[in-house]
Structure 1
Amino acid sequence: MQGFEIVKAEKSDLQEILDLQYLAYQSEAALFGTQDIPPLKQTIDEVIVEYNNGVILKVECKGQIIGSIRAKFKDNTVYIGKLMVHPQYRNKGLGKKLLKEIESVYPNCRYELFTSTLSINNLRLYESIGYKEYERKKVNDMLTFVYLEKR
């Protein structure tokens, strides 16, 4: 895919990123049959805290933010979260590019992320670039998180 670039988000981008998050996570909500999932309940103030305590990258195409990823570094581990791509731009390699870019921001570390067992496409993506499952945590009858790492 051409005509896009991945750069660090500015504070002025955060509302647009949150709006993208609400759109992008609709597919996850559909997997669970509920809108009651954390990414759809996050506030702008919570995104600002994440911005101040880590790194948020964005993908821009024609002046619109079409993807984003967040990470926070602690104790030689990079905790990756909120990887999202606009539904119209999925399956074009942007998720993989965002993951590789966040790894380049924090080179030579341990990387950790999680998703649900129902998120088959996410698991396939993470495993395709070297992430390995190391733990599962059952939240409730509907939800089990899969924790993956890459060293």
Structure 2
Amino acid sequence: MIITKATKEDLSEILQLQYLSYQSEAKLLNNFDIPPLKQTLQEVQNEYDNGTRLKVLDDNNRIIGSVRGYIENGTLYIGKLFVHPFWQGKGIGTKLLKEIEHTCPHNRCELFTSSKSAKNLQLYEQVGYEIFKQQEVSNELTFIYLEK
């Protein structure tokens, strides 16, 4: 397993993996109209131009995970952390999270997830993130913001 910076040529494959990986989140929320499932290649390219995108390769050089981050006012904002469903639960998400923190110089890190995403919350808290804010988006959805 290799973690490296993604290239523009990787973005289409990363987007397809994102669509696959966020199916479980959509099921949790009972909503398949969530932004990660509607994102376009152009939007992913814009994110790429304004931050850092990492990828994880398996032994056959297939992308099996990704994370993005960007720095603003000394804070590293982390998003779109996902791993292929087959590879989930094997520590890859943790490694990606630690690598994006290491790659991007920052004073503080921030990310968010759904209150229904128990596995995500567990992962983030295990690596030192603490909840600092909750935002109710609708009766069915609350975002949990964490920082480190």
TM-score (normalised: structure 1): 0.96
**1:78 paired residue number:** 76
What amino acid is the match of 1:116? S
For the residue of structure 2 that corresponds to 1:50, the secondary structure is: helix
After TM superposition, which residue ranges in structure 1, 4 or more long, deviate above 3 angstroms? Answer: none
Distance in 2 (alpha carbons) for counterparts of 1:8 and 1:133: 28
For the residue of structure 1 that corresponds to 2:138, the secondary structure is: coil
What amino acid is the match of 1:143? L
**2:142 paired residue number:** 144
Q: Structure 1: any 5+ residue segments left out of the alignment?
A: none
The 5-angstrom pairing of residues 1-151 of structure 1 reads 4-61=1-58, 62-150=60-148
For the residue of structure 2 that corresponds to 1:123, the secondary structure is: helix
Aligned residues: 147
Task: Give 1:109 shift.
Answer: 2.0
Identity %: 56
TM-score (normalised: structure 2): 0.98
Task: Give 1:108 shift.
Answer: 4.6
Distance in 1 (alpha carbons) for counterparts of 2:107 and 2:41: 29
Q: Structure 2: any 5+ residue segments left out of the alignment?
A: none
